[in-house]
Structure 1
């Protein structure tokens, strides 16, 4: 028999469900709830595509010259397996499925606004940052496979399809007017600012840039599940404006 604490370090995948933003804001509202996966996914399907526009021209003998017109939102498909067969009287499977289905319904809190919307969600799984983006639930399907004598569902497999919600990039390049590339990182257990700075910029001493961008007073206290804005490498290289202290040091400088 496996030790009781064999899975104590297992990081569960989860889907955080939030109220949609109010008005023209693109920031998620407060958290409605969360679905923690009983069993981590065996497979994730992530897709992203780019759009190109073809302008016909007689000067090209093999088709037309194409111009990039933008990146399309990412799509993520994931399967959620729910099982309450060990507690036949528990309604947890039914309630979790209903919670997932509600992600395709209008959030009552958004009705008074001029932009009614279903909840916004964010899927996360430890440090797997590639799949951590703000999204809406495009579709949910649930297949029930086990029931109690009273008809209570005890086992279900749900298939979710998430579609990324494009959000404006924060910050602006003061010299060119172009938006600087930044991304959001969700804090997991064990994260530190120096470690994030090393991973993002190749220089652990750049942790102050992240601290300043997120108004962090105590760099030793990062709350798991919170989100950090990571400034672009270009912002860091620009020097003093990117954070306190002297300008950037050579990569790898202790």
Structure 2
């Protein structure tokens, strides 16, 4: 069985994601933690917590390990030659830079004051989490003689993100039409009927905070926000 790598699918233009150019982990993580606060208070004063879920993961990068088990052609693609003809490992920042940039604001998302939403995906159809990269700590642990870093670990903290307009609609649900799911319907077919665009199924999924958009059931009530 082919080894599946953890991928980060980055929002291209709200509400679509660029599945064609994911950020692929150099090595799969050993552990992923997801935290969600469901209730707050004590005893009879418990109230639902209005808190987003968070995911933390440590990603490991080491360009020296890329050489192991590679053919000479493959090795040639990951190392260069200096002026004296000796092999030189790649700067690990080539691999960490794309993740580091996920903390920065990105234009074209409808709201210029936020970074892009990311989907963490491991396996062909398994989305582990969707949110923004809230915090990142990058630690270099191995260097070449000239100071070039070749090993690093990234401690990443992602926070669940829901567009502000959807949060407002959750507080005022009367503003949005409610649709009862009929037998045989999918989010794609509902989006095609409501918006004339099946690709907008993610808008409905986000508005209803669906953990698994592929599993909707007949009789289920869905909020269909206007665009």
Give, in whole Å, the separation in 1 of the partners of 2:122 and 2:178: 27
Aligned length: 179
Which residue of 152, 157, 160 maps to 2:156?
160
1:213 counterpart SS class:
helix
Give, in whole Å, the separation in 2 of the partners of 1:232 and 1:177: 25
1:47 corresponding residue in structure 2: 35
4+ residue segments displaced more than 6 Å: 176-181
Q: Which has the higher helix share?
A: 2
Q: Normalization by structure 2: what TM-score?
A: 0.59
Q: Could you tell me whether the CA contact under 8 Å between 1:41 and 1:79 is conserved in 2? A: yes
2:133 corresponding residue in structure 1: 137
1:81 and 2:60 correspond: yes
Report the alpha carbon displacement of residue 150 of structure 1 after superposing the two structures with TM.
4.0
Report the alpha carbon displacement of residue 142 of structure 1 after superposing the two structures with TM.
1.6
Give, in whole Å, the separation in 2 of the partners of 1:119 and 1:125: 19
2:95 counterpart SS class:
helix
Question: 1:28 and 1:91, CA in 2 relative to 1: closer, same or farther beyond 3 A?
Answer: farther
1:220 corresponding residue in structure 2: none
Give, in whole Å, the separation in 2 of the partners of 1:150 and 1:97: 19
* CA deviation map 1:103-149 (0-9, x unaligned): 22222x259x76422222111112444x232x111111122222334
Q: Normalization by structure 1: what TM-score?
A: 0.54
Q: Which has the higher strand share?
A: 2
2:101 corresponding residue in structure 1: 102
RMSD: 4.4
Give, in whole Å, the separation in 2 of the partners of 1:140 and 1:213: 37
Give, in whole Å, the separation in 1 of the partners of 2:59 and 2:214: 33
